Amino acid sequence: MITLKEIAEKCSVSITTVSNILNGKSNVSEKTKERVLEVVKETGYRPNYMARGLRASRTNSIGIIIDDLTEFSSTGIIDGIMSYFDEHKYKAILENLRFYSKWGTKWYHNKGYEDSVQQAIDEFASIKVDGIIYVAGHARCISCIPENLDIPLVISYAFTEQPGISSVEFDDVQAACAMTTKLIKNGHKKIAVIAGTEKNIHTMRRLEGYQKALKENGIEDCRCLKYAGWDRESGYLAAKELLADSGCTAVFCFNDLMAAGVYDYLDEKGLVPGKDIAVAGFDNRTMSQFLKPTLTTVEIPLFDIGVKSAELILNQINSPDDFKVQHSFVECKIIERESV
Amino acid sequence: MITLKEIAEKCSVSITTVSNILNGKSNVSEKTKERVLEVVKETGYRPNYMARGLRASRTNSIGIIIDDLTEFSSTGIIDGIMSYFDEHKYKAILENLRFYSKWGTKWYHNKGYEDSVQQAIDEFASIKVDGIIYVAGHARCISCIPENLDIPLVISYAFTEQPGISSVEFDDVQAACAMTTKLIKNGHKKIAVIAGTEKNIHTMRRLEGYQKALKENGIEDCRCLKYAGWDRESGYLAAKELLADSGCTAVFCFNDLMAAGVYDYLDEKGLVPGKDIAVAGFDNRTMSQFLKPTLTTVEIPLFDIGVKSAELILNQINSPDDFKVQHSFVECKIIERESV
DNA sequence: CTGAAAGCGCTTACAG
DNA sequence: CTGAAAGCGCTTACAG
């Protein structure tokens, strides 16, 4: 591979001059600049990333730590991050923790979890990335970032109480409130809820939004609520217990998978979603439009969360002084389909 | 960050010795080794990746170029690659070309396509990755790898005729043959096909597998075939034209999305998949189990393709001399559900 | 406007 | 078994 030195020789100038030109320093004559740039072009010279990184302690690369790439939310977020990096000439190095694959859905209770995260951060410190984005698999309070970390870090899809760390989430409360309001506007007064697991942050926030909507509309909470395990089967079971003769005319499921379980139950009973009872979901996963009738649900702005995270980290890197830590919430969108 | 030099000072040895120990060279006394390792541990020293890479021209990192991360197949493959890298202490740097997002499904006819790929390779050359894996979005012959590339490269989910480049694909022919055979064993003699786009390699290979199965079972090709655009709508349209009074008792759709379109059509006609007519899909996408009745389909071994690709590239890096270029095909698995 | 020189943190012959 | 020294390819004060 061709080096700076060779370019310098070809042009009969010093390597300092070539370096200055390549880095856009202004103190160079037009003439030499032109000549050098020409040679650079025709030789296809590319700076050695390692050498530059070693000397300049700036690598234009960002480390992305991912709880689990296969989680449905991960791809959209990463796609957003990368599209922003693309425009700003940053590279992404991925560290996929593979937590769901390794330890199932309860991984964050696992002892090894915090170690893995710290190891990943360590690794990135060694690679000298300019910043780190932590893409979580679900909302929670992350508290295992090393206190004295000297690399900017932002958390995506979760949050933290540790100082100096920004986060980007979507707005569960607003979304659940909007969906509930929509149900109410459609004439429903007794709205059952099939929530996620108890104490889960998404569950709690969505419940808050649900109750807020009821309150705003002067409707009493019918207390038809069942916690479930986020999957199809648990949605089915919850529906069975909850819906029998509750008198509810609508069910708000806290994700699409559980909504599919509700469909299963209704099907069994010969009931039709959207006709006999309104069903709403959350996530807008691909499968939600393959349900029959198609599922009304909440779209999570994954791409935008990614873009925003990327924006925050680059801001913090480029203007560390006037950067303010920020905990932002991106709004969700309701996808109206046939089930409501 | 702590450096080699500081470790050396703390232990009153030379940096050469520390380096030797850290790199597992054998020519060191047990005593100094122990002492140094202890200090390394307690200081939390990590080698500077840039310095090491610059000097040793080996970075333990692999560049992954992806046609489009959001394509359904990408995540599984990358997950497989990363799980293998994890075990072998390799890092992955991602370059997401975002072709589908940028240019729609016809992107590979786009002029800018080859440029983007070459630019990505160039970029990786500059970063000095030890190898490159190209994760394609669908099977095709890739011919834009620079001839004189001195970095090992393997192609995942597509192939090439260029020398020196290995590839890993799944076996479309075997899979389509197995699915057709299954249909035949179930008593079907007139099996319609809703294929993908004409001339697409997956389409051609699956057709080959289909015909092979017919031949093996002495069944004449009923020539009930319709090319379609891989999506739900086109599947619906194809079904409408093809199935009306064809007398076919089964339809083999070349992907799950089109199978969903067939479901739409049958639904409209009051027909039930798996009862009135057998329907088979391909891909085993998540939505296929949310269809009612659930869809019998072909599972693509994405994870295994990723693992195999990772294995090939590391082999080629570590034993460049006795490495043989290899075009491998991983077998698919039939997922039996209710529609057949 | 231009260039000689130091140095980033390592690895690698080589000498002892 | 141990270490002094060169050098990987750049950037960055600094001098002229």
Average pLDDT over residues A216-236: 96
Residue A108's pLDDT is what?
66
Q: How confident is the model at residue A321 (pLDDT cuts 50, 70, 90)?
A: confident
Q: At residue B110, does pLDDT exceed 80? A: no
Q: How confident is the model at residue B56 (pLDDT cuts 50, 70, 90)?
A: confident
The answer to whether A339 touches A279, Cβ cutoff 8 Å, is yes
Highest mean pLDDT among A1-5, A293-297, B113-117, B317-321: A293-297
| Tokens of residue B22, six digits | 């850290």
Q: Amino acid identity, residue B16? A: T
| Beta carbons of A127 and B49 less than 8 Å apart | yes
Residues B173, B179, B180, B184, CA torsion sign: positive
Alpha carbon distance A144, A125 (integer Å): 16
| Contacts by A306-309, CB closer than 8 A, 24 or more apart | A306/A76, A306/A77, A306/A78, A306/A79, A306/A80, A306/A81, A306/A82, A306/A83, A306/A84, A306/A156, A307/A80, A307/A81, A307/A83, A307/A84, A308/A80, A308/A168, A309/A77, A309/A80, A309/A81, A309/A133, A309/A135, A309/A154, A309/A156, A309/A168
Average pLDDT over residues B96-122: 85
Q: At residue A111, does pLDDT exceed 80? A: no
What is the reported pTM? Answer: 0.94
| Beta carbons of A82 and B75 less than 8 Å apart | no
For chain A, give the percent of residues with pLDDT over 90. 79
* Rg (alpha carbons) of chain A, rounded to whole number: 26
Q: At residue A268, does pLDDT exceed 70? A: yes
**Interior angle at CA A312, CA B123 and CA A206, nearest 5:** 120
| Tokens of residue B215, six digits | 């031949």
Q: Closest CB to A128: pick one of B49, B82, B128.
A: B49
Q: Closest CB to B79: pick one of A44, A96, A291.
A: A96
Residue A285's pLDDT is what?
97
Average pLDDT over residues B259-274: 97
The chain B residue lying nearest A54, using CA atoms, is B50
Which is higher by pLDDT, A248 or B106? A248
Q: At residue A205, does pLDDT exceed 90? A: yes
| Tokens of residue A253, six digits | 């499921």
> Which residues, 6+ apart, have CB-to-CB distance to B294 below 8 Å?
B288, B337, B338, B339
**Set of chain B residues whose Cβ sits within 8 Å of the Cβ of A53:** 50
Q: At residue B36, does pLDDT exceed 70? A: yes
Alpha carbon distance B60, A199 (integer Å): 42
- Backbone dihedral angles phi then psi of residue B104, each to the nearest 5 degrees: 75, -170
Q: Which of B267, B268, B295 is nearest to B283 (CA)?
A: B295
**Set of chain A residues whose Cβ sits within 8 Å of the Cβ of B128:** 48-50
Q: A49 vs chain B: nearest CA distance in angstroms?
A: 5
Q: Which residue matches tokens 């099939």?
A: A194
Q: Amino acid identity, residue B249? A: T
Reduced to 3 states, what is the DSSP secondary structure of residue B261? helix
Residue A102's pLDDT is what?
83
Alpha carbon distance B336, B334 (integer Å): 6
Q: How many CB pairs under 8 A join A and B?
A: 117
Residue A191's pLDDT is what?
97
Residue A319's pLDDT is what?
86
Q: Which of B152, B183, B144, B148 is nearest to B282 (CA)?
A: B183
- What are the pLDDT digits (tens) for A144-189? 999 888 899 999 999 999 999 999 999 999 999 999 999 999 999 9
For residue B7, which nucleotide's C1' is closest to its Cα?
A: C9
- What are the pLDDT digits (tens) for A50-93? 999 898 878 899 999 999 999 999 999 999 999 999 999 899 99
| Tokens of residue A274, six digits | 């959207």
Q: At residue B245, does pLDDT exceed 90? A: no
- Backbone dihedral angles phi then psi of residue B48, each to the nearest 5 degrees: -75, 115
Average pLDDT over residues A17-33: 86
The answer to whether B94 touches A82, Cβ cutoff 8 Å, is yes
Residue A104's pLDDT is what?
79
A195 by Cβ neighbours in 10 Å (0-12 / 13-18 / 19+) ranks as buried
Q: Which residue matches tokens 């330890």?
A: A103
Residue B106's pLDDT is what?
72
Chain D bases near protein CB atoms (7 A cut-off) = 1-5, 7-13
Q: At residue A22, does pLDDT exceed 70? A: yes
Average pLDDT over residues B49-62: 89
Q: At residue B105, does pLDDT exceed 90? A: no
A58 by Cβ neighbours in 10 Å (0-12 / 13-18 / 19+) ranks as exposed
DSSP A231: S
Residues of B from 263 to 322 whose C-beta is within 7 A of strand D: which are they?
none
| Tokens of residue A235, six digits | 């949605």
| Beta carbons of A287 and B292 less than 8 Å apart | no
Which is higher by pLDDT, A147 or B202? B202
